[in-house]
Structure 1
């Protein structure tokens, strides 16, 4: 038995509850996770399962999956929410805050630095060549996301119909993303009532060696006192999160005005945080509609470059919003023309705050209710329908990106055959050779650099 296990397995005989898993050991783990959490939510969840369930034995397999399946039902990044939930379960509210914050903090600092390099040197031949190859790769990556989610979700004709209607609503009628989500949820409510077997969600599955040592927080450990539901506690959590949202929004409105870029970023990404059913790829169309189309904080090519940067840095993919905030704050000179970097960094931090604050609300407020809602069809059916709609949404995003990559000057101009070739290579690498996303991005970036240098030399 490890030192960590022997310390944490000490129990209070009077109430038979776990004394504590060492808090600072947990802090160090969450910090390490923030720097190594590559590979999207699947990779991040896998790291937590390997470390916390298999190696450290801080929590049992069943309780880990119970928390995971709950987090997968929530809007927002499920891996970050799972870390927050596990930190909260082990060390109360501060444990959840530390786990959730450290999960995204390294990514925020890294993306601020990369965003500054991109916006400052992005027009150089070297950087432009790298991103010329990355953009077609992003198109293939988003298509893979649609396939991955669709293969898990579209299990019957009802869910297929929802996905097709979602795609048609966006591609043919340009319906707002929130309307798509709300419509799918309403369909799911009726589907759960009249065809419940068709709207059941599949739980996440992992495996564990049957001979593994007992976990510190095992299947039979009593629910900690802080995890029991109380109306007073719920009211305090909601009130605290409301204050943490109202204060910065009020300060921004007072100092910059409601229509300023910073204030609108706070409002826009608060709404986005409540619409991220299905992961980061699900909310990207909404971000593109708002940040690119409505507000003009950045362009479509810049959005694709930001997605590539998000894919190659640790942390949840939804951290691409930090790039959106930085570029928007920098180009709009929100702190004045002499403080462009400060404006970009401030916008990135604010966007991250408003995007992730609801995730903490969901965990701290709804965590104690897990037992009463988990696996109830009336609760899961609408979310299953929403996930089916997300498949159509992501497929529409693929076409949107493909259009801007293959026809950068409009349909009236010739197709960019070089970009088309890189996209096809990325497609083969992802679907047939099963390469990692980060590997494909690096390979395509090299192809783009070689091609751009070749064209520059001969012209």
Structure 2
């Protein structure tokens, strides 16, 4: 049944998995994958490229590069692209839904509990331990991505270091630098024989601006939620926490849907639940307008990133083996890994706040380095229990 869905472009490849095996994998990753986008894309490489051999290294790098070039959450876009590789739009759709659905259900349940019981006081204690452990998890993932994707290429190392430094200094990911890294690598490795334009011009960069002619209409609350979160998904570059400042400006400052404490709790929920960090939009949507609000917020956020992945994907697949495109993708990948590594430091500054959290982070790195087959959820649950014990002692 699965072979009927393979297009002629991939019919000659030996596909080692069925569509439903891939869907089940992303369901499991969405339900048990902790650590945010850095860790999640690392798990995808470890599981699908190295251990199972379902996805080639080239296809993985193309997916990671596209996820960095297009706006939206990086981990979700990478999952969607990997679903597209052999099973096209159906695979991309089912992989994306499977990846997001488990964590969406979790944040809806937490949103219900939060609304019913007037806040979750234990959340800060859990996040105290989990937030520190997550730093260790993503540090290990960033190290693995760096060693596997950069290699010994001096140009890629230079790009990596520049992007890591810029990310640490600015605490943001600058989209045009990813493009610049790709172009520099392309010109260095495979310069065009004649300067006639074209080439990389077909790669997706921008998206249509949302019209303002309907701004004066009296929209319903759900429509307002849909429009706001669609903008969040369509116009925010970067991974995971990059969307948080945008959400804060709209949810707290502009629309006054949540207060400061509720917003901080929403971010904490995203960090202590598995799956993509951006799923915090489901929690926020629930607090604003119940279950319909959660559904609208999640759909509006993830639909743009889905479209920005499947629309350019055929071009990546068709032209991805050309030397110029290979060089461009290598440059963007090096920039992405550099930005990912820099984001570890940025997030660490917010999660490591005292000696106990520093110790938890270092212990996490040491344990995962020593016991390479240890499952990350075990580490996260242990860190949560430690947080519940230590937080009352350190914050009387």
The TM-score, its normalising length taken from structure 1, stands at 0.60
Distance 2:227 2:133 in 1: 33
Residue 71 of structure 1 deviates from its aligned partner by 4.0
Change (3 A) 1:131 1:192: same
Show the counterpart of 1:263. 227
1:93-172 to structure 2, matched below 5 A, reads 94=90, 97-98=93-94, 100-117=96-113, 123-154=119-150, 155-172=152-169
Show the counterpart of 2:384. 445
Distance 2:58 2:155 in 1: 27
Distance 2:187 2:232 in 1: 30
For the 8 Å contact 1:68–1:82, the answer to whether it is kept is yes
Residue 266 of structure 1 deviates from its aligned partner by 0.8
Distance 1:424 1:303 in 2: 23
Number of residue equivalences: 346
Residue 189 of structure 1 deviates from its aligned partner by 2.7
Residue 271 of structure 1 deviates from its aligned partner by 3.5
Change (3 A) 1:285 1:451: closer
Residue 386 of structure 1 deviates from its aligned partner by 1.8
Please list every run of 5 or more consecutive structure 2 residues that lacks an aligned counterpart in the other structure: 5-10, 12-16, 34-39, 68-73, 193-203, 253-257
1:193-272 to structure 2, matched below 5 A, reads 193=190, 255=219, 262-272=226-236
For the 8 Å contact 1:30–1:102, the answer to whether it is kept is no
SS in 2 for 1:255: coil
For the 8 Å contact 1:45–1:79, the answer to whether it is kept is no
Show the counterpart of 1:303. 267
Q: Deviations over 1:331-386 (max 9, x none)?
A: 6x3xxxxx3454234212321222323223234x43xx73x423222112222112
CA RMSD, 1 decimal: 4.5
Please list every run of 5 or more consecutive structure 1 residues that lacks an aligned counterpart in the other structure: 10-17, 19-24, 55-60, 196-237, 276-281, 311-316, 334-338, 408-415
For the 8 Å contact 1:167–1:396, the answer to whether it is kept is yes
Show the counterpart of 2:375. 436
Distance 1:401 1:45 in 2: 22
The TM-score, its normalising length taken from structure 2, stands at 0.68
Show the counterpart of 1:356. 306
Distance 1:44 1:391 in 2: 14
Residue 427 of structure 1 deviates from its aligned partner by 2.0
Distance 2:181 2:383 in 1: 36
Distance 1:427 1:106 in 2: 27
Distance 1:193 1:252 in 2: 51
Q: Which of the pair has more CA radius of gyration?
A: 1
Distance 2:312 2:320 in 1: 14
